Chain A
Amino acid sequence: MDRNQITKWLKSPAKMANKYSLHVIYFCTGCGIIEIPPVITAKWDAERFGVIPVATPRQANLFLIAGYVSLKTLKAIIRTYEQMPEPKYTVSFGSCPINGGMYWDSYNTIKHLDKFIPVDGWIAGCMPRPEAIFVGITHLWTLIDKEMADGYIRYRKNYAAYRRNQEMLFSNLGWPPLYSIDDEPEGGSQEAGVGK
């Protein structure tokens, strides 16, 4: 913590604390799981940025999705995201959640993660180096400062569209809607990108 940031701390403690205490819940598949252990252990020590892994979604405020997302695990991702307390941020790591990556024509993975949950930041690459996570986190700090990391607000606003996309894949989601889905705002469906 810098000493010249004290005025910032006094002005908006919530924002600053959110920046410097990111408790991460990791979702890792395939090569994503290879890149995470060096990040949180001795080699690249994420804890000096205040980033520590936690075990349950209730304690987390950053959701890091590393690796491809299959249809089966998407359900777990949505549940985990909805259980996290607000304000919450999502960062997807690697090209698979961005556009399918090397699983582009697979029958069993989804191509665009942000149709189903809002994503605040993307780290492109196949796979990105662990340093990219730190670049991503410093970018996320900037976004939080400018109040542009508003994924959870978008999710609340466009919940009907997100829910429709989720139900398009799973006929029976198995849990009730998180927010009311009756009052859909204008243009919500375009923003959330309906259709696969």
Chain B
Amino acid sequence: MVTTILQSILSVLSALVIGLFFMGLFRIIMARIHWRYGPPLVQPVIDIIKLFFQRSVSHGIMFDLGLILSLAGSMVIILFMPFGNGCWCPLSGSGGLLVILYIMLLMPFGIALSGGAGGNPNVSIGISRKLILSLGYEVPFLLIVLAVMTRYKSISLVEIVRYQQDLQWGLFSWPLCLPGIAYFLILPAMLGIRPFDVASAPQEISSGPMAEYGGKYLAFVHIEHAFGLSITIALFVNLFLGGADNILFLFIKMLVVFVLGLFVHAVFPRFRVEQAIKYLWKWPTALAFVGLVVTLLVK
């Protein structure tokens, strides 16, 4: 019991630290690509400290609760996510991938509920774009997860990781490489980075769903963003890159995936919403579907 609680706290904390590190690294690497010096690595932490000391404005009870719902949803997913095989996955025995699939919807919905209470037209546009985008990437994402679950005949992430460590990494085994590539193609959409940053486009709609957040609220949004980064990339590593024995190897694998995603972010301009949907429902969905069919036939 005590170890479970300790593991829960540790896994949430480590996900937060990894996410904040990625946010800092994001800004530094983007600066170097722009031929700039860039901020210090701890800049997101400084921002969050500052935001917690600011006076903030609330827009009603839904504004507070939606944000808490989103934050709690992302924390719960981390409890189901193996951070290093066997050591830090406090709730690995129950649920597995299916629970993660369900709770992952809470993150955009919580922000949507909360931002909607702000009554800002930019927030409404941002939320509609965010939900349309999540409609776009949920279809290939479900097909990908279905293919993985069919291949390994298991819904438990811990077992999927163990199979991969015994046999071969998912990304390099035959039928699963197609869903793996598809997951990498939808990764920018799930992270909300370019070319899929339609939802939080600061130049078009004043940073969209975040337009009404200030002070502590914005700090919580930043923390939720850090959790989101950790979750999405850790899921990719666990599903296709064989997970890891401990958190250090997991972190290195996540770092490689994240930096590759960053290069995509640095090079591409922003899609419009309908272009994003067209892309997401074409190539990743086709790859994931073919992967699913081949997985079913090979079995």
Q: Kindly state whether residue A48 has any CB partner on chain B within 8 Å.
A: yes
B54 → A minimal CB distance (Å): 5
Known contacts: A47-B31, A56-B206. The answer to whether A87 contacts B46 by CB under 8 A is no
Q: Pick the residue among A13, A42, A58 that contacts B34 (CB under 8 A).
A: A42
Contact present for B53 and A50 (CB under 8 Å): no
For A51, the closest partner residue in chain B by CB is B39
Contact present for A61 and B36 (CB under 8 Å): no
Which A residues are CB-close (under 8 A) to B31? Answer: 45, 47-48
Which B residues are CB-close (under 8 A) to A17? Answer: 46-47, 49-50, 53
Q: Kindly state whether residue B211 has any CB partner on chain A within 8 Å.
A: yes
Q: Pick the residue among A13, A47, A54, A87 that contacts B36 (CB under 8 A).
A: A47
Contact present for B43 and A50 (CB under 8 Å): yes
**Chain B 280-299 interface mask (CB, 8 Å, partner A; 1/0):** 00000000000000000000
Contact present for B40 and A1 (CB under 8 Å): yes
Q: Kindly state whether residue A70 has any CB partner on chain B within 8 Å.
A: no
A102 to B27, CA, bound (A): 39
Known contacts: A13-B49, A17-B46. The answer to whether A45 contacts B56 by CB under 8 A is no
Stretch at the interface among B85-93, B94-102, B172-180, B213-221: B213-221
Contact present for B55 and A47 (CB under 8 Å): no
Contact present for A50 and B46 (CB under 8 Å): yes
Q: What is the interface residue range for chain A against chain B? A: 20 to 34
Q: Which of A13, A55, A84 has the most CB of B within 10 A?
A: A55
Contact present for B50 and A21 (CB under 8 Å): yes
Contact present for B53 and A47 (CB under 8 Å): no
- Residues 166-225 (chain B) with a chain A CB within 8 angstroms: 202-203, 206-207, 210-215, 218
For B54, the closest partner residue in chain A by CB is A85
Which B residues are CB-close (under 8 A) to A87? Answer: 54
- Residues 153-169 (chain B) with a chain A CB within 8 angstroms: none
For B208, the closest partner residue in chain A by CB is A55
Which A residues are CB-close (under 8 A) to B207? Answer: 54-56, 59
**Chain A 50-68 interface mask (CB, 8 Å, partner B; 1/0):** 1010111111010000000
Q: Kindly state whether residue A18 has any CB partner on chain B within 8 Å.
A: yes
Contact present for B54 and A20 (CB under 8 Å): no
- Residues 25-68 (chain B) with a chain A CB within 8 angstroms: 27, 31, 34-40, 42-43, 46-47, 49-50, 53-57
For B43, the closest partner residue in chain A by CB is A50
A55 to B122, CA, bound (A): 11
Q: Pick the residue among B37, B122, B210 that contacts A59 (CB under 8 A).
A: B210
20 A–B contacts from the bound complex (CB under 8 Å): A13-B49, A14-B53, A17-B46, A17-B47, A21-B47, A23-B47, A41-B34, A42-B36, A45-B31, A45-B36, A48-B38, A50-B40, A50-B47, A54-B202, A55-B211, A58-B211, A85-B55, A85-B57, A85-B214, A86-B54
Q: Mark A residues whose CB is within 8 Å of B.
A: 1, 13-14, 17-18, 20-21, 23, 41-42, 45, 47-48, 50, 52, 54-59, 61, 84-87
Q: Mark B residues whose CB is within 8 Å of A.
A: 27, 31, 34-40, 42-43, 46-47, 49-50, 53-57, 122, 202-203, 206-207, 210-215, 218
